[in-house]
Amino acid sequence: MSGPDPAALALNTVTVRERWKLAQAAEGCARHGIGAITLWRNEVAEMGAAATARLLGANGLAVAGLARGGPFAWTDARSRRAAIDDTRCAIDEAAELRARCLVLVVGGLAAGSKDLPGARARVREALAEVLGHARACGVPLALEPFHPMYCADRSCISTLGEANDLCDALGEGLGIAVDVYHVWWDPALEAEIRRAGRQRLLALHLSDWLVPTTDLVLDRGMMGDGVIDIPRIRSMMEASGFEGWHEVEIFSARNWWRRDPDEVLAICRERHRSCC
């Protein structure tokens, strides 16, 4: 197993955004030799898409992804329309930023509902509805299967198998973001990464699963501090032809969000080399 390409390191701004605004994050990436960034729509909204594109360009940064389209957990025709329209806007923004993909977080159960098959059907319906616009704009959509502990409230798409089924059903323009935190436990992981193949594999997100984990959302670990065999997953991805960014995305209220972001980025760099 060869080591990771150091030039592939990318940063999801959530990793440092408790302390850094987008401009600081972009400059921080440049300072630490990080070549790409994934940013969030609220950050783009704050600065404007054109100014954001200039900022990233000035710092030599590619856009690994825009977070995010969805959710599609609507409860009526009006919220359905709003969800679809909002994702269409996100596609436009991703196009303007020349993002490698728009990451989709599809949502869980609708409020008050226990109908999980219905929620999954709704996701398929929403994807079918936005995919044409994404194709027209040249923006690949990256379905991100979320850990099953988020099935109720964040994403009812929990496995790579489901994501591949949706890609099979809906065709070109729809791909997958593989976040090791969400999928590391899946016994079908290797088979489903192979099934996805080069064309669909749009993103690789990195963090680690801590033992114990003290919060369902905000307690992700730095690569190397947990139990995920990240090199194995990266190698599976590369064996399928993946050549994209290795994007660090750490939600960590008790640790990494409290630290000096320059320290965090230096450690990301080191752990990318030694643990990924």
Contact pick of 148, 197, 235, 269 for a second copy (by CB under 8 A): 148
Q: What phi-psi label fits residue 179: left (phi over 0), alpha (psi between -120 and 50 degrees) or beta?
A: beta
Least distance from C-beta 178 to a second copy, angstroms?
15
By CB under 8 A, residue 186 contacts a second copy? yes
Structure tokens at 245: 């960014």
Are 13 and 47 in contact, with CB atoms under 8 Å apart? no
Contact pick of 2, 76, 77, 114 for a second copy (by CB under 8 A): 114
β-pair type (62-69, 36-40): parallel
Residue 90 or 105: the one with the smaller Cβ distance to a second copy is: 105
CA-nearest of 261, 244, 206 to 99 is 244
Residue 98 or 232: the one with the smaller Cβ distance to a second copy is: 232
Name which of residues 221 to 250 contact a second copy (CB under 8 A).
226-229
Give kind and range of the element (H or E) at residue 151.
none
Least distance from C-beta 235 to a second copy, angstroms?
13
Least distance from C-beta 165 to a second copy, angstroms?
8
By CB under 8 A, residue 252 contacts a second copy? no
By CB under 8 A, residue 45 contacts a second copy? no
Contact pick of 68, 120, 205, 272 for a second copy (by CB under 8 A): 120
β-pair type (174-179, 62-69): unpaired
Strand, coil or helix: what is 110? coil
Q: Where do the DSSP E strands lie in 113-268?
A: 141-143, 174-179, 201-206, 246-248
Q: Give the interface with a second copy as residue ranges (CB under 8 A).
A: 109, 113-116, 120, 147-149, 151-153, 156, 158-159, 161-162, 184-188, 209, 211-214, 216, 226-229
